[in-house]
Structures are given as structure tokens and as C-alpha cells.
């Protein structure tokens, strides 16, 4: 089943859920703030889309981090930060266990339809 990772209060995540419902695509929502995320899932997502693309540097969470956490940023440090602060993950993330897609613009919508059965 398609799993969508995001935040329930995120406008883009809500739009994505409504779109999936309109498309008739069964899904399960995983609220990152409530349920958190495992280090293994963060690593798997980053392996699929790239850690730079997965890390949301435009977020208020990123801006609120101490400068020391932002300095010397590499993959390992970014993965640890995203695991500790799931709101740093660019959302929504769509996952069916084989394919991972991050973001919700037209290219991602097309990729979701192709990868997840529509």
C-alpha cells in the first residue's frame, strides 16, 4: 500500500491526500510529528531521492537549528538531523516499499501515477 509521510497541518500534505483520494489511490498517512520516523527509513528515502533533495532547508525547523548543527553538513549529519527532527524532511514523501517520491508538484504527480498504479 502507498504510504504518505508528512505533517497533518501541512497544506501541501493535505492537498496530496485529497488528490490521492480523488484519484482513487488507496493510501495510509504517516504523521511525522506524531509517529516520528526511523533512521532506516530516512536513509532509504535519501538513497532514493538524494539527501540534499530530502532536506528542507526552507523550513522553520531548519532556521531554528543552532548554527553548529548546520555547519559541516554532509550526508551522515543530515540523516541524523532529519531523524531527530522529522519536520526537516521535505514533504510529502510517497512510498510503497519499492519506490520513493518526494514533493508534490506536477512532475511528482505524474511519477506517482506511473509508479503507484494510475
From the list 2, 4, 7, 10, the catalytic residue is 10
Look up 10 and say whether it is catalytic: yes
- 2 contacts 27 by C-beta, under 8 angstroms: yes
Q: How many whole angstroms separate alpha carbon 91 and alpha carbon 87?
A: 8
The catalytic residue positions are 10
Amino acid at each position: 500500500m502507498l504510504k504518505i509521510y508528512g505533517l497533518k497541518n501541512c497544506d501541501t500534505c493535505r492537498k496530496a491526500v485529497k488528490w490521492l483520494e480523488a484519484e482513487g489511490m488507496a493510501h495510509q498517512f504517516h504523521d511525522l510529528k506524531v509517529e516520528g520516523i526511523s533512521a532506516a527509513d530516512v536513509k532509504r528515502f535519501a538513497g532514493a531521492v538524494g539527501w540534499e533533495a530530502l532536506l528542507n532547508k526552507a523550513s522553520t525547523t531548519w532556521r531554528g537549528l543552532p548554527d553548529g548543527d548546520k555547519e559541516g553538513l554532509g550526508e551522515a549529519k543530515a540523516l541524523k538531523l532529519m531523524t531527530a527532527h522529522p519536520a526537516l524532511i521535505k514533504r510529502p514523501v510517497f512510498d510503497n516499499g519499492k519506490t520513493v517520491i518526494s514533493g508534490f508538484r506536477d512532475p511528482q504527480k505524474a511519477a506517482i501515477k506511473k509508479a503507484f498504479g494510475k
